[in-house]
């Protein structure tokens, strides 16, 4: 039975999951969920994923409805590369970076989008933009320090890299950072990840339409 990834072409959570699956060598069919029409809240999709979110992964008659759950399942049931470390300390580090991806890195990207690319009716809050960009620079500076001494976030390639990279890649939409040359190790790390087919073949790719009726 073909595995199915229910995703949205512009959803970073969908992208990181597809990126993860491709690095693991897992083939899948991509089905597009139209978030603009709230297709994720239709009875047909909720029957697949009660969370009403993307992505969801259908495999062997079951559906996993959370990106972390999907990645953990795939890593446990496939061979190398193992992207969740077996070492307890390294494993805890990966989980901490996943939490930061879902909080800090998301905060910068999500709110800059709504301030700069689709601003509110009352106009852009430039003080908020400054706050968010300063926060983004702090995050990139932290990554720069880490990556100046090792090739990946926890040393070896792991889920930490896969969940952080899509957010950092998307920062360029906001001219963040304004001076990329200030972050040479981040640039090298990001290029290494995002220039490979596992990323490019999944970036902003739409699946076949989901039939909700």
**pLDDT confidence of residue 2:** 81
The pLDDT tens digits for 196-206 are 999 999 999 99
End-to-end CA distance of the chain: 23
The secondary structure element, H or E, covering residue 170 is helix 159-170
What is the C-alpha to C-alpha distance for residues 1 and 22, in angstroms, rounded to an integer? 18
Res. 213: pLDDT tops 80 = no
Domains and CATH numbers, the chain: 4-82+199-209 (3.40.30.10), 88-196 (1.20.1050.10)
Res. 25: pLDDT tops 90 = yes
Distances (CA, A) of 52 to 8, 47, 65, 109, 213: 12, 9, 8, 22, 16
Taking the model in full, what pTM does it have?
0.94
CA-based nearest residue to 19, from 213, 208, 211, 196: 196
The pLDDT tens digits for 148-163 are 999 999 999 999 999 9
- Looking at 24-153, list the stretches that DSSP marks H as alpha helix, in order from N- to C-terminal side: 43-46, 67-77, 88-100, 106-112, 126-147
Res. 74: pLDDT tops 90 = yes
**pLDDT confidence of residue 80:** 85
**pLDDT confidence of residue 1:** 61
**Whole-number mean pLDDT of the chain?**
96
Cβ neighbours of residue 177 closer than 8 Å, sequence gap 6 or more = 136, 137, 140, 171, 183
**pLDDT confidence of residue 148:** 98
Res. 194: pLDDT tops 90 = yes
Helix (H, G, I), strand (E, B) or coil at 41: helix
């Amino acid at each position: 039975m073909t595995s199915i990834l229910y995703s949205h072409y512009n959803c970073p959570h969908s992208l990181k999951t597809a990126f993860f699956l491709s690095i693991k060598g897992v083939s899948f069919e991509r089905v597009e969920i139209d978030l603009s029409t709230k297709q994720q809240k239709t009875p047909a999709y909720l029957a697949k994923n009660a969370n009403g979110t993307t992505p969801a992964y259908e495999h062997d008659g079951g559906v996993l409805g959370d990106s972390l759950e999907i990645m953990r399942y795939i890593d446990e049931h496939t061979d190398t590369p193992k992207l969740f470390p077996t070492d307890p300390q390294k494993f805890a580090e990966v989980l901490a970076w996943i939490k930061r991806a879902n909080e800090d890195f998301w905060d910068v990207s999500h709110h800059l989008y709504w301030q700069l690319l689709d601003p509110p009716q009352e106009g852009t809050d430039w003080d908020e933009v400054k706050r968010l960009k300063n926060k983004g620079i702090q995050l990139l500076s932290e990554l720069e320090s880490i990556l100046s001494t090792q090739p990946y976030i926890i040393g070896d390639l792991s889920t930490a890299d896969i969940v952080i990279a899509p957010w950092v890649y998307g920062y360029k939409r906001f001219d963040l950072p304004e001076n990329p040359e200030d972050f040479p190790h981040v640039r090298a790390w990001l290029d290494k990840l995002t220039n490979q087919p596992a990323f490019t073949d999944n970036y902003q790719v739409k699946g076949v339409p989901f039939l909700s009726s």
